[in-house]
Structure 1
Amino acid sequence: MIKTEALQVELIQVEQIIEARWVVPVDPKNSLYEFYAVVMNHQLIVDVLPTLQARMKYQANEVVVLDDHVLIPGLINAHTHAAMTVMRGIADDQPLMVWLNEHIWPAERAIVTERYVEDASLLACAEMLAGGTTCFNDMYFYPQATATAATKAGIRAHLGLTVLEFPTNYAVDADDYLLKGFEAHDSWRGNNLISSMLAPHAPYTISNQTFEKVLTYAEQLGLGIHTHLHETRDEISQSEVTYGVRPIQRLATLGMLGPGFVAAHGVHLLPHEIDMLAEYGSHIAHCPASNLKLGSGIAPIDALLKNHVNVCIGTDGAASNNRLDMFSEMRLAALLSKGVSEDASVLPAYDALKMATINAANAIGLDTKIGSIDIGKQADLVAVKLSDFSISPCYDPVSHLVYSCGREHVTHTWVAGALRYSNGTYANIEPVELKEIIQTWQPKLRQYKH
């Protein structure tokens, strides 16, 4: 009789394996994997493979088993103002310019300080992590304070170096805004969670001269540009009176459009302007809830997508939304596109998920790091439980994510491989601290409600 010895296979040691019922990698093939595992080591995704194969190939310090969950890339909020979260609800039911001129800007002049921004941003980070958002593209004053809050929370932040012409508590003129922005930008070099782009507020608050400076600095430093654009009809009319052209044409003439240009809103775009965005490879950050709540209108998303413009999704600030909830934004974006086009096949669920993940990563220049579940990318991941009776049964997990699930179904949020939120508990944030932030700032803001 011939004896044979069993082959001993040495397992590869890794830090963590997540075994999920479903994995949605967000790839060009619109893949959905069942009974799959994601293997993580040193902040990175090192493998994506069937669970049984993972058990035969790897040995992990920790294995997380999610039998009732779908694992997706971390959601990316492509346009927000995190520090406005404490202003949630102070001036509801007002059109944009009334909302800004009579409520928001006076409130900001009265209370916005570096301490305020850090506190309010931490509250926003907590809300976003609990809702599966792992990265946000921000535009606000004191970006260093937002960076401090984001780093504490463990969330990824792409921070705008905000530029305005008029004085605020933060800076006195455009040059001062730029100087302070660059100082902040230099301070977080080496921080894996923080990146940035230049953020001139909007064509109606920025001069041609300042736009030209912004463009020069963007080219020299390799930074993108993030601004509000064509949010309201009044903005466009004002530009036609002042400059003789619509805002997008003005920016195109100045050389601002390009693959590093992210335009928030893009509600009122003519067909040739959509062609222009496509030609320059620029991006639209679609904010459906904010646009509806401020009465700004509905962006032509179907036309943008048909013309191959990269569209991502943002919440805008909680003061105009009033939630930092990417699940509700995905659902609303899909439903609005179907309703406006009168075509139920427009913006299917997988495409809506792409807008909230890889499309946003592409817009902010982080698509090689985040936005999909790919080997070599940062392990920014979110687990969503699909077995709750209120959303059962489930036939298509991707469709379920967009049309049935809410942020309350998020159970785990990982950023760069670290678990930052799990079943109501934060890794680095104490609920009592959030309560103190609200109690500190709400009384100071109450007077600006009316």
Structure 2
Amino acid sequence: MSASIAMRPAVRSPRAWLRGILVAAVGAAAVATGPSPATAQPVGYVNFLDITPANANAELAGGLDPRLPTDPAVLGTALASARVDHVPPVRYAALLHQYWLALGAMATGIDLASWDPNAGFAANATLVDRVYANYGRYQRERAELNWAGMAGMAGASFAAGFWDLDGGRTALTVDAVHRLGTAVGSAVEALPAEAAALLPDDVRALATLGPATTAADLDWYQQRLLIMQKHIYFDMVPMHEAYLRAGRPAIDELRAAGVLDANAASAWRGIFSGTVEGRADATRRMADREQNEIVADQWDATASGRGGIGRVLSYVTTVAAQPSIPGTRSPGVVAPLSVVGAVGGATYRLQAPLPDFNWADRGPRWSYIGGDTVPAYARLVQDRPAEAYALLALPFVDFMDQQRVLRRMPALARDLGTGWSLTREP
């Protein structure tokens, strides 16, 4: 810029001057963390207003909507202009959401534009691990972000499940599901018919459909989990990334835009309180949001899909779950199967080494997470913070590998075929 031009600020209105400063500042900040200065040219924001995201449920490739860029530099420039022009936040809600999502994806090491859960696990393997490692990063950097730490630590068992399910491309995991189904089926066949009829539908379906599960079934189920993982990321990462980079004002803007509802806003107030009670309430509220708002419908669709296979595979993963948070119990320990009914004219109790719920179902899933996982993590970070942070500091791939169910499959199949009892009630 020449000296003569630099000396003429008065020819610009104060509003235009402020817009230029903010656009330059936000654009520069985004470029500092973005792909290339060449992509950070000033853009208008009008085309980014009043967008109802077409991919809000994260079931397609890319970001929230194809009309929105995925480059955080471009998004940041447009967002700065909208703010300077005092556009109501609710009108640029999708732009704001996508901006923080894009920054989070970049920090995670994910190419938002090409992220496609429908491409299967092979195309998303590295991404799966990075998602959960990123959650752990949030709490390592800000101790008050307990939900993120819990998600990162619990994610090790879910990521291990992804890797285990990928064995469906060989005979290994298909054989493992067959072995579980056969073990349960053998135990069921040994029961009197009236006693077997007392068993929940999921157990009987595992016994009948489990041995016939195919690699294509496992691929389908894995794709459903990939979609839900991405959906949770779409919801949780923008607010956490915003808080990490810009603090409470960024959360307030997300709330003003309608990106956060009253429950999420209450969770953040708990975090802002700086109290143990506030953090605990925030963790519970965010877990409730994740399970009962974000992926509840997708779990329902998964459970009802593929002619009963959805329920079988969701029950298999419930049975095989090995929680990775110290102090968290497995589903079969929290809620062991025990049913009472008439057998041969008398009342009997049938007990089995299986969980009495399927975590594809909303109520039981929340009872398990809210009643066991959330309190266990709260105890861990409160009573043994050094242990919690040591686990969060482990390379995620190494921590996840310890949770692989295939390492436990022979013993698990053996245990599921034994431990059944049928006793007469007094």
TM-score, shorter chain, exceeding 0.5 = no
Q: Which has the higher Rg, Structure 1 or Structure 2?
A: 2
**TM-score of the superposition, structure 2-length normalised?**
0.27
Structure with the bigger RCO (C-alpha within 8 Å, sep 6+) is 1
- Counting strand residues as a fraction of each chain, which structure ranks higher? 1
| Structure number having the greater helix percentage | 2
Q: Please give the TM-score of this superposition, normalised by the length of structure 1.
A: 0.26
